[in-house]
A and B are shown apart, each in its own frame.
Chain A
């Protein structure tokens, strides 16, 4: 057998392991992304009888299996796991992979472990199946394995960026000459002012200025961009200070703008950007510490924040401006009480009670723009300072800044608050006794504070340090001069210890809190020893992994897999979204730029499945554009059609053969917006913000002619996996007729769902005839009704139940002219746990059929999906047409009047 793992030469001991199995794959040169399910490969300690599926993601590029792998096991926990391929062998339809994996805990259920698996797969057609054997958390196991190898070819003409090459994200350096020529065309000249447009996001404006710099070479444009970037950084816009998801969007914009002007930035600016981007890898992964963050794969929250995280990783990739700190070797900090410690005047001496937070402190601040400086240098430094009430500290943020004198004084009790968290991690709800830092700061951003007390430990032993680390910038505590952070383990002897906390609240939204607390949880000696042994194994694992992959490569892999999971769960293979146009289109504003930049930087599609690529053609199929506006029936929260921002940001992702048809719709949408006529009732985005303008400039194909979609798309589109159906008679004007039906099948959870299974929308002859009622989501008037289920949909029945219930297609027929029928079984929808109001049911199995008929028609050809097909993934439009869909170009001449 032959096999190989990339970057092995750089991996030291890991490389030796890899090279023992290394050789290039002989039989399958195609680049692929492998999705490998290992059944029963993870389980909770002591619950070996409840084993769950582990899903691995691996990648083969240039015939070489890449060492870095990621994994998830959603029935085990919600974390992202990572590791490497210690070996890969592939020959004659057999694939053997040796996997080393670190299972990460999540914040709710834990679950950390190490695992090793040997996976053996054999190919049968397009499917791969076999077995795994190995150990999970030291216990042996085995089970079945199955894999899909998704083609993920390298983009045509792709050349790997050289180290330090910029720009490389929205454009490659090699495109500059072409884009400058484009700027000299009439179309390009008309676009340039739009790049200099305004936006509430300074980062967004910086993108436009950055592209203007690239196009014109005017240093002043780059200077503007740098100033705008710095303004948003100074304002704390990378943190959660503005709107729910804004920090993710600003990170994306900053990465693009910085890439465009990189060659104009001095070393200090580059260090600042690299440091800020590195922080975002962690901060955005956890949703900028917003307690409302939904980390589930299918959520728009995950899509946006993990897109921002991916952009930060792309920004850092290969630049080396601020390398990640190496992992810290674990230790149990043995700390003895300092001899002759005298608690100074007014210093609180607090009895340390394991598990309890204390709130008696001396406090000094605000240290304006503390950053990572030692604010107590004047009194011996943070580790050695032993202040007392009245101790004064002189602080100067910068050599040219005014100095201030800050005095340690007892903490005012009005800043002590918190309430007990009902469930979940402590950071989601302030703990009793915690210090309300935002109130203490009086909302002045970037001010640091020091808290000091003497801790009296009556009985020595092992303790785990628990200190708040959310919405705080690099908080730490010094216990007898030893720097500790949340999660550390200490061995304290009985006695008194000076404890000093360094607290720099992150900028936050006006109604958000940031608390500081410190407590010590008692640990048995054996537990501490076990903790150290386990952490040492993790440390060694991470050191080994670090030889093969950098922190930003790992972050990028995690972000990519999260977006793939989002695309596979929140979008159907036919491009239909689950969470509605409101949240999906806003997600696209971050996801699409990441996908665009990822392909430029790596040569590969961000999402190997076609779901994301299919979204645009589906908008074309559903949107009716006329002189008086555009309309599109929609399901879930919000409505359509796609705004001008979406077309601009994502056009490069549209499969080439479909681009002329998508361009047809994009041209009409942009023309309506420019004329003030994009006035759909759901108010799609009609303003071309500077970032969208930049992407429009880059992506708009002057050389490509638009084509009426009738020659490209089928008039009927059936999305079997999610039960979405479109019946359209033509693409001509505002009188086009479109009926859409939604079965809401195969909802995977984790995000917004709707109670719309079996519903339909109808637009025809210039009017919307069947629209949603209350709809679903924020602002729905149904919440005020006695039974909110009624009047929610176009078709409302008394028995309709809540979200997540699915209808099942029982038959389907389509005609080339756009006519068709879909029948559905609604028994899951009508048999809600809640007793249905109204008269008793007839006893007939509940179902529904919706037919749409345009013009002349022959006898229908029925398609009855087999039960197994209900959960099949359709391959349209990246492969063969979906079941029942007419083929492109086969439609009859459109009738003049339906």
Chain B
């Protein structure tokens, strides 16, 4: 798990990657950490809880948050935040929050 400015990346063992881009708020700070978290996994006549090594991404900021996650193998679409901070271009598409709704449009 790595961070780069307003982006964070998680790589899976099979080569797939999730890349997150914090479009807003501007100036958000990204913090990553790993933590042992446990929870109940099943109940087959008795409670079973297991600990998992989880990766946590904390985005510090205030106001409206817009985070775009792309999951891909190899090179994925570039995420370009819009100048007004309310949307982004993702490859040939746009993701935009108009104050009421989140819309994904384009090809």
**A residues with CB within 8 A of B:** 243-246, 580-583, 585-586, 637-639, 681-685, 737, 762, 764-767, 769, 771-782, 791, 811, 819, 821, 823, 839, 842, 844, 849-851, 853, 856-857, 859-860, 862, 897-898
Check A765–B43 contact: CB distance below 8 A. no
Q: How far is the CB of A824 from chain B (nearest CB, A)?
A: 11
A-B pair count, CB < 8 Å, reads 140
Q: How far is the CB of A360 from chain B (nearest CB, A)?
A: 41
Check B102–A637 contact: CB distance below 8 A. no
* Contact A781 B16, CB 8 Å, known A582-B43, A681-B52, A853-B93: no
Chain A residues with Cβ below 8 Å from B104 are 819, 821, 851, 853, 857, 860
Asked if B49 is at the interface (CB within 8 A of a chain A CB), the reply is: yes
* Contact A842 B62, CB 8 Å, known A245-B45, A779-B39: yes
Q: A682 CA to B44 CA in the complex, in Å? A: 11
Check B45–A781 contact: CB distance below 8 A. no
Q: How far is the CB of B48 from chain A (nearest CB, A)?
A: 7
Chain A residues with Cβ below 8 Å from B84 are none
Q: A895 CA to B46 CA in the complex, in Å? A: 42
Chain B residues with Cβ below 8 Å from A860 are 103-105
Asked if B56 is at the interface (CB within 8 A of a chain A CB), the reply is: yes
Q: How far is the CB of A746 from chain B (nearest CB, A)?
A: 23
Q: Which of B18, B41, B52 is in CB contact (< 8 Å) with A769?
A: B18
| 22 interchain pairs, CB-CB under 8 A | A583-B43, A586-B45, A681-B50, A681-B52, A682-B41, A683-B48, A765-B73, A767-B13, A771-B54, A775-B40, A779-B48, A780-B49, A781-B38, A781-B39, A781-B51, A782-B37, A791-B35, A791-B54, A811-B100, A819-B104, A823-B100, A857-B104
Check B54–A638 contact: CB distance below 8 A. no
* Contact A776 B71, CB 8 Å, known A766-B16, A791-B56, A851-B102: no
Nearest opposing residue in chain A for B54, CB measure: A773
Q: How far is the CB of A201 from chain B (nearest CB, A)?
A: 9
Chain A residues with Cβ below 8 Å from B35 are 791
Check A862–B101 contact: CB distance below 8 A. yes
> Quick one: which of B1-55 are within 8 Å of A by CB?
10, 12-14, 16, 18, 35-52, 54
* Contact A849 B97, CB 8 Å, known A765-B71, A765-B73, A781-B37: yes
Asked if B69 is at the interface (CB within 8 A of a chain A CB), the reply is: yes
Nearest opposing residue in chain B for A843, CB measure: B63
* Contact A765 B38, CB 8 Å, known A243-B46, A637-B43, A860-B103: no
Check B49–A779 contact: CB distance below 8 A. yes
Chain A contact surface mostly:
loop
Chain B residues with Cβ below 8 Å from A585 are 42-43
Check B42–A683 contact: CB distance below 8 A. yes
* Contact A582 B71, CB 8 Å, known A765-B12, A839-B62, A842-B63: no
For chain B, the count of residues having a C-beta within 8 Å of the partner chain is 44
Check A778–B49 contact: CB distance below 8 A. yes
Q: A399 CA to B39 CA in the complex, in Å? A: 55
Check B72–A898 contact: CB distance below 8 A. yes
Nearest opposing residue in chain B for A853, CB measure: B104
Q: A850 CA to B65 CA in the complex, in Å? A: 12
Interface-centre pick from B35, B37, B51, B63 (highest chain A CB count, 10 A) = B37
Nearest 4 A-B pairs (CB), nearest first? A779-B49, A775-B39, A849-B102, A582-B43
Q: Which of B52, B62, B93 is in CB contact (< 8 Å) with A857?
A: B93
Chain A residues with Cβ below 8 Å from B95 are 851
Q: Which of B37, B42, B46, B107 is in CB contact (< 8 Å) with A774?
A: B37
Q: A504 CA to B28 CA in the complex, in Å? A: 69
Chain B residues with Cβ below 8 Å from A682 are 41-42
Add 12 more A-B contacts to A580-B40, A585-B43, A844-B63 (CB < 8 A). Answer: A586-B43, A639-B42, A681-B41, A684-B42, A685-B44, A762-B69, A776-B39, A777-B39, A842-B64, A853-B104, A857-B105, A859-B105
Nearest opposing residue in chain B for A245, CB measure: B45
Check A764–B71 contact: CB distance below 8 A. yes
Q: A775 CA to B41 CA in the complex, in Å? A: 9
* Contact A849 B12, CB 8 Å, known A779-B38, A779-B49, A780-B40: no
Q: A781 CA to B37 CA in the complex, in Å? A: 6
> Quick one: which of B48-84 are within 8 Å of A by CB?
48-52, 54, 56, 62-64, 69, 71-73
Check A823–B102 contact: CB distance below 8 A. yes
Chain A residues with Cβ below 8 Å from B45 are 243-246, 586
Chain B residues with Cβ below 8 Å from A898 are 71-72
Q: A390 CA to B71 CA in the complex, in Å? A: 83
Chain B residues with Cβ below 8 Å from A780 are 38-40, 49
Q: How far is the CB of A542 from chain B (nearest CB, A)?
A: 37
Chain B residues with Cβ below 8 Å from A683 are 41-42, 48
Q: How far is the CB of B44 from chain A (nearest CB, A)?
A: 6
Nearest opposing residue in chain A for B66, CB measure: A849
Q: How far is the CB of B56 from chain A (nearest CB, A)?
A: 7
Check A773–B42 contact: CB distance below 8 A. no
Chain B residues with Cβ below 8 Å from A844 are 63-64
Q: A823 CA to B100 CA in the complex, in Å? A: 9
Q: A713 CA to B50 CA in the complex, in Å? A: 33
Interface-centre pick from A243, A774, A781, A811 (highest chain B CB count, 10 A) = A781
Q: How far is the CB of B46 from chain A (nearest CB, A)?
A: 6
Check A777–B40 contact: CB distance below 8 A. yes
Nearest opposing residue in chain B for A769, CB measure: B18
Check B37–A779 contact: CB distance below 8 A. no
Chain B residues with Cβ below 8 Å from A586 are 43-45
Q: A499 CA to B73 CA in the complex, in Å? A: 82
Q: Which of B47, B63, B72, B106 is in CB contact (< 8 Å) with A778?
A: B47
Q: A420 CA to B64 CA in the complex, in Å? A: 54
Q: A192 CA to B76 CA in the complex, in Å? A: 51
Chain B residues with Cβ below 8 Å from A821 are 101-104
* Contact A779 B101, CB 8 Å, known A766-B16, A771-B54: no
Nearest opposing residue in chain B for A772, CB measure: B39
Q: A821 CA to B39 CA in the complex, in Å? A: 29
Chain A residues with Cβ below 8 Å from B18 are 767, 769
Chain A residues with Cβ below 8 Å from B36 are 781
Check A769–B71 contact: CB distance below 8 A. yes
Q: How far is the CB of B50 from chain A (nearest CB, A)?
A: 7
Q: A582 CA to B56 CA in the complex, in Å? A: 25
Nearest opposing residue in chain B for A820, CB measure: B104
Q: A639 CA to B48 CA in the complex, in Å? A: 11
Check B101–A849 contact: CB distance below 8 A. yes
Chain A residues with Cβ below 8 Å from B63 are 842, 844
Q: How far is the CB of A301 from chain B (nearest CB, A)?
A: 12
Nearest opposing residue in chain A for B64, CB measure: A844
Q: How far is the CB of A435 from chain B (nearest CB, A)?
A: 31
Check B41–A639 contact: CB distance below 8 A. yes
Q: How far is the CB of A241 from chain B (nearest CB, A)?
A: 13
Chain A residues with Cβ below 8 Å from B100 are 811, 823
Check B42–A897 contact: CB distance below 8 A. no
Q: Which of A762, A857, A859 is in CB contact (< 8 Å) with B71?
A: A762
Check A767–B40 contact: CB distance below 8 A. no
Q: How far is the CB of A794 from chain B (nearest CB, A)?
A: 10
Chain B residues with Cβ below 8 Å from A774 are 37-39
Q: A585 CA to B37 CA in the complex, in Å? A: 23
Q: How far is the CB of B38 from chain A (nearest CB, A)?
A: 4
Chain A residues with Cβ below 8 Å from B38 are 774, 779-781
Q: A821 CA to B98 CA in the complex, in Å? A: 14
Check A638–B10 contact: CB distance below 8 A. no
Q: How far is the CB of B18 from chain A (nearest CB, A)?
A: 5
Q: How far is the CB of A819 from chain B (nearest CB, A)?
A: 7
Q: How far is the CB of A619 from chain B (nearest CB, A)?
A: 15
Q: How far is the CB of B104 from chain A (nearest CB, A)?
A: 5
Nearest opposing residue in chain B for A639, CB measure: B41
Check A767–B102 contact: CB distance below 8 A. no
Check B73–A582 contact: CB distance below 8 A. no
Q: How far is the CB of B1 from chain A (nearest CB, A)?
A: 11
Q: A771 CA to B64 CA in the complex, in Å? A: 23
Q: A859 CA to B103 CA in the complex, in Å? A: 9
Chain A residues with Cβ below 8 Å from B51 are 781
Q: A586 CA to B42 CA in the complex, in Å? A: 9
Nearest opposing residue in chain B for A784, CB measure: B38
